[in-house]
Amino acid sequence: MMQQQTANSYLFGGNAPYVEELYEAYLNNPGSVPDNWRAYFDQMQHVPAVDGSARPDVVHASVIASFAERAKQGPIRTVTANQDPELGRKRVAVTQLIAAYRYLGSRWANLDPLQRQERPPLPELDPAFYGFTEADLDTVFNISNTYFGKETAPLRDILNWLRDTYCRSIGAEFMYISDPTEKRWLQERLESIRSTPTFSADKKKHILERLTAAEGLERYLHTKYVGAKRFSLEGGESFIASIDEVIQRAGEKGVQEIVIGMAHRGRLNVLVNTLGKSPADLFEEFEGKHADDLPAGDVKYHQGFSSDISTPGGPVHLSLAFNPSHLEIVNPVVEGSVKARMERRGDRKGKEVLPILVHGDAAFAGQGVVMETLNLAQTRGYGTGGTVHIVINNQIGFTTSDPRDARSTIYCSDVVKMIEAPVLHVNADDPEAVVLASQLAMDYRTEFGKDVVVDIVCYRKLGHNEQDTPALTQPLMYKKIAKHPGTRKLYAEKLSAQGTVPPETGDQLVAEFRAAMDAGKHTNDPVLTNFKGKYAVDWAPFLNKKWTDAADTAVPITELKRLAERITKVPENFKPHSLVEKVLNDRATMGRGEMNLDWGMGEHLAFASLLSSGYAVRLSGQDAGRGTFVHRHAVLHDQNRERWDQGIYLPLANISDNQANFTVIDSVLSEEAVLGFEYGYSTAEPNTLTIWEAQFGDFVNGAQVVIDQFIASGEAKWGRASGLTMMLPHGYEGQGPEHSSARIERFLQLCADNNMQVVQPTTAAQIFHLLRRQMVRQFRKPLVIFTPKSLLRNKDAGSPLTDLAKGGFQTVIGEVDEKIEASKVKRVQVCSGKVYYDLVNTRKARNANDVAIVRIEQMYPFPHKSFAAELKKYPNATEVVWVQDEPQNQGPWFQIQHNVFESMEDGQRLAYAGRAASSSPAVGYADKHAAQQKELLETAFSKLKGFILTK
């Protein structure tokens, strides 16, 4: 049997960390491991080094590999002459039994308040699997590799301690963590107390009070507002005790700001019982009253809130993020907001700012943005020092509770194993265990700066919402729920039976809470009023501004030259790539005014001038440092470097000693999470130019939820301002359906209420003034820039240095060719973007001097006055033609034609020139693309036909 165990046990292969852990224990104290293992490791110590000398230690990987190889050959039989082989076998078996409970004990834990699940067959947790019998239960074994406080103990006690620790109300998962220090920390914290809390009477009464508040609010609302949607927390009341404990313990450990993200379930409860929102204000919302200052507003269970809470460590500012019905999409938004707050404080490790994300079990397992956000956790540009995740696990996703349909993993939290985050599953009907798990989670995050999960296994007393009848699809589950007395009642009876509180305490607390509700009073006493944090941001200067407000974006020529010199120099002995060296040399020439600036230099001078003026710049995206089209080179790489983490130089970070911070990040291959992160960052930091750049504009499709629910509508729904800038490379150059269109039409369709700015600049000077305008002007709205690809190096799109020292961003650029006489113009072509240069070249080739070309650089808010003024320059023009590269049902045409038409003179006719309508953004064949481009340019100069609208 021993041979079978050694060859086939779960201790090998993917669980080889156990062997390393045993070896670590051996190195610390050879006597702490069983004799057979010690003899084996002793033998390993005498493996000669390359030079023939003995060595006191070996690389751990070789130990594991060697052991795995030996395991295939059968059991290790190295014993001393005076050893009892059977006793040695049993000692090894005890070590295996301990490891089995650490690895698999959560599978036998008592986690379900409804007691619906049977224990799965796990022979590894049965002593008989290792050959133990009843007679062995009183045999004493060495357990110095545990933290039960004993060097030796009878097998009976060892077994009881293991079951208490890993198989009662807390089921801990953490043995997949690679770092032995983290595993030992968790083992010690759990095993030293057998996962059993020992709280004072006051602490227990506080837990009961929190449960009473959680249950009391739900029942009060259910009585007063029958059938109103609120996504009740009933069945998961322990969550309020959990989040309360995390907040209080965080404050005790020095955290000063907490940002919370959660979906619907329990949100109203958190607003009132955790953040201290006035119940009276909540009741008004139920009765239909609302603020008049928002164009749209939102439902109650999407609302955010902020407050200041008293904790043992001092005041803590709490912010509950606004969140739409897309559930987990709030995750990256919260992380971005936390990152901005950290950087404002100079808090590099997240010691002062904490993200808490609250999940539903089905959404946590089911939505891809969860994985994308987790993948950011330990990266340099997005790490926030660890997130505390709390899962309100009501074991049902809307109507899907059949385990065969719910997910493909054992636990809803299994996705976090990708970042080796520990998970503490806990039974919601044991609120003390829930609070203990919450303490451990916060302590782990503080100690290691990594994510951790508390999975509160509970149930949902009512339907998905209060108008739903869950028994229609879950009759068995809801028969059990109907008989469940509720966590609060069970805990009150337990404390009464213990003598911790008098029998009447439970009913007294219920009555007191009901009275507070009737009076509309606060239910969370530590809420502070009139507290102003040192690092709070005042958004007042940025609100109620107009997009037409003036902005002085010009920079003196002397300052431009100084900045150009700084950003084109590299340190001594730094060797850029020869191609980059040429770019730097060309930029130096541009900076002296001897050569027109290209797009990359226009960008760089905009960044440099902002940084020099005290505005921070944060730029992220896939390949953002170099630029997908190799035009930026914000990060230089020494070609002679010998290590990957050396030889990096950022010219924009070295402009002057007192400049603002410049951050550029090559993001992970994610659009949704990274864009959500940058949006969250921008909502917390108005003084940073926050930019997300798509690798290709088309790829923004993967982040459409962020655009729809936050960027386009966040201010109208929630009053949340954001100055986020999005750079979306856009242009029809024959690169196929996924590398042409950033979907201008979608953004324009989302435009209303002056909610964002949609632009397509065509020159280096334009991008310079545009980026500066975004910060210099105190107008904070999202800015969507359709950036070019071919124009990045098109000399016609270049600008003289003097254009940066005068003027500003032009929302409309009229005809610039002096040869075109306004009185002779019969047709005005109106366009946006790259097609302008195609039109200019075609006009020149056809000698069509009766055609004027007007560029719309800002498509929204539409510049009516500027555009109308341009049209009026051509009194004899009877034809206006909108020209675009995109298919007719895409691009700006359908969204912009009414604006063009409105500015036209009576009698003028409006027509369209562009590709025919298409279900695909672009063709994939180069010759077909060229034919289409030729045809649309021909149409732009030919007799009007097809769609014609006469004013």
Asked if the model's pLDDT at residue 43 lies above 70, the reply is no
Domain check: are 640 and 524 in the same one? no
3-state secondary structure of 935: helix
Query: Of 482, 511, 528, at which residue does a domain stop?
Result: 528
| pLDDT band of 758, cuts 50, 70, 90 | very high
Higher pLDDT, 76 or 159: 159
Domain check: are 503 and 588 in the same one? no
Q: What is the mean pLDDT of residues 599-612?
A: 98
Asked if the model's pLDDT at residue 808 lies above 80, the reply is yes
Asked if the model's pLDDT at residue 83 lies above 70, the reply is no
Domain check: are 598 and 523 in the same one? no
How many angstroms from the chain centroid is the CA of residue 810?
Answer: 35
Domain check: are 53 and 161 in the same one? yes
Provide the pLDDT for residue 882.
Answer: 97
Provide the pLDDT for residue 20.
Answer: 63
Query: Per the domain annotation, does 69 fall within a domain?
Result: yes
Contact 858, 759 (CB under 8 A): yes
3-state secondary structure of 389: strand
Q: The CATH number of the domain where 603 resides is what?
A: 3.40.50.12470
| pLDDT band of 264, cuts 50, 70, 90 | confident
Query: Of 191, 213, 237, at which residue does a domain stop?
Result: 191
Domain check: are 216 and 343 in the same one? yes
Domain check: are 316 and 373 in the same one? yes
Nearest alpha carbon to residue 111 among 361, 358, 327: 361
Query: Per the domain annotation, does 540 fall within a domain?
Result: no
Query: Per the domain annotation, does 93 fall within a domain?
Result: yes
Provide the pLDDT for residue 50.
Answer: 41
Percent of the chain scored above 90 by pLDDT? Answer: 73
* C-alpha R_g of the chain: 33
| pLDDT band of 398, cuts 50, 70, 90 | confident
Q: Give CA angle at 296 (294, 301), nearest 5°.
A: 95
Alpha helices in 29-123 (DSSP H): 35-45, 60-73, 85-104
The residue written with tokens 């949006």 in the block is 679
Provide the pLDDT for residue 73.
Answer: 52
Residues 154-192 have pLDDT tens digits of: 999 999 999 999 999 999 999 999 999 999 999 999 999
Provide the pLDDT for residue 111.
Answer: 96
Distances (CA, A) of 49 to 6, 24, 28: 28, 20, 21
Query: Of 783, 804, 825, at which residue does a domain stop?
Result: 804
What mean pLDDT value characterizes the chain?
Answer: 89
Contact 268, 230 (CB under 8 A): yes
Asked if the model's pLDDT at residue 232 lies above 60, the reply is yes
* DSSP symbols for 630-682: S----SEE-TT-SSTTSSEE-GGG-S-TTPPPEEEEE--S-SHHHHHHHHHHH
Query: Per the domain annotation, does 422 fall within a domain?
Result: yes
What is the count of structural domains for the chain? 4
Dihedral Cα 404, 405, 406, 409, nearest 10 deg? 50
Provide the pLDDT for residue 72.
Answer: 52
Provide the pLDDT for residue 642.
Answer: 81
Q: What is the mean pLDDT of residues 549-559?
A: 95
| pLDDT band of 359, cuts 50, 70, 90 | very high
Domain check: are 24 and 167 in the same one? yes
Query: Per the domain annotation, does 549 fall within a domain?
Result: no
Helix (H) or strand (E) holding 452, with range, is strand 452-457
Query: Per the domain annotation, does 536 fall within a domain?
Result: no
Provide the pLDDT for residue 498.
Answer: 94
Show Cβ contacts of residue 280 under 8 Å, excluding neighbours closer than 6 positions.
520
Residues 655-700 have pLDDT tens digits of: 999 999 999 999 999 999 999 999 999 999 999 999 999 998 889 9
Residues 106-137 have pLDDT tens digits of: 999 999 999 988 889 999 999 999 999 999 99
Look up the domain containing 587 and give its range.
557-731+739-804
Q: The CATH number of the domain where 851 resides is what?
A: 3.40.50.11610
| pLDDT band of 750, cuts 50, 70, 90 | very high
Domain check: are 799 and 850 in the same one? no
Provide the pLDDT for residue 295.
Answer: 59
Q: Specify which of 6-20, 24-38, 337-351, 642-656 reaches the highest per-range mean pLDDT.
A: 337-351
Q: What is the mean pLDDT of residues 322-343?
A: 93
Query: Strand pairing of 388-393 and 452-457?
Result: parallel
Query: Per the domain annotation, does 637 fall within a domain?
Result: yes
Domain check: are 750 and 615 in the same one? yes
Query: Per the domain annotation, does 541 fall within a domain?
Result: no
Residues 492-549 have pLDDT tens digits of: 999 999 999 999 999 999 999 899 888 877 777 667 777 777 888 888 888 888 999 9
Provide the pLDDT for residue 29.
Answer: 66
Domain check: are 717 and 818 in the same one? no
Domain check: are 484 and 573 in the same one? no
CA gap 89, 99 in Å, rounded = 15
Domain check: are 709 and 800 in the same one? yes
